[in-house]
Amino acid sequence: MQFLRLALPDVMLITPKRFGDNRGYFSETFRKDRFSEEVGPVEFVQDNQSLSAEVGTVRGLHFQLNPRAQGKLVRCIAGAILDVAVDIRAGSPTFGRHVKAELTAENGCQLWIPPGFAHGFCTLAPNSILSYKVTDYYSAEHDRGLLWNDPDLAIEWPVELEKAVLSAKDLAQPRLADLQANFVYGD
């Protein structure tokens, strides 16, 4: 398993090894000991799965407020996505910056997004399925978001604005400049 720190060093791209033959392949997608060595102690409490039927579906940018903040370990088990993490920690030297990674069923890559980051993705293939582990349970009371196409974030999404498939909730999220600080860098 390879762990690669990205431009936002708390976000990691994880590439599990695949062992293949004429039958297909085998891969360890999570090992608590290796994950703890690279990321630190993390306890996952819930597994989630989502299906996005259309290419150009955008989900996010989502996060949960403290004290119910979630870290996420995201992987694409069918199709392909462009996964995005945005630093929303007040006082962070990378506040408002983002990283992107292409996660596909073929490449097997995963993205670790710790608490203090907003998360979203755009589908690159039809019927894309995501599976992800989270470090706290879903809480509607703490569920928040950030506008996916906020110009201050300068995210280059792989879909034209008018062709993106979004929920009403994601279309109405606040801009980064309007977010109340909930996460503080270094806490």
pTM across the whole model: 0.95
pLDDT score of 162 more than 80: yes
Q: How is residue 57 annotated by DSSP?
A: B
The pLDDT tens digits for 76-93 are 999 999 999 999 999 999
Whether residue 97 lies inside any domain: the answer is yes
Q: Output the domain CATH number for residue 145.
A: 2.60.120.10
How many DSSP H helices and E strands does the chain contain? Answer: 2, 15
Does a structural domain hold residue 158?
yes
Considering the domain boundaries, does residue 8 fall inside one?
no
The amino acid sitting at 44 is F
Per-residue tokens: 161:
């604005």
Residue 61 to residue 7: CA distance in whole angstroms: 18
61 belongs to a structural domain: yes
CA 74 to chain centre: 6
pLDDT score for 101: 98
- Residue 161: band (very low, low, confident or very high) from pLDDT cuts 50, 70, 90: confident
Domain of 149, in residue numbers:
43-174
Residue 127, token pair as written in the block: 């019927």
The pLDDT-based confidence of 186 (bands split at 50, 70, 90) is: confident
What's the structural domain count of the chain? Answer: 1
pLDDT digits (tens, 9 = 90+) for 99-156: 999 999 999 999 999 999 999 999 999 999 999 999 999 999 999 999 999 999 999 9
Residue 19: inside a domain, yes or no? no
Residue that is written with structure tokens 């290796």 in the block = 34
Greater confidence (187 vs 185) lies with: 185
SS3 162: helix
Active centre residues (catalytic): 62, 132
Rounded CA Rg of the chain: 16
Would you state the structure tokens that stand for residue 26, as one six-digit string? 């085998």
Tokens of 131: 């599976």
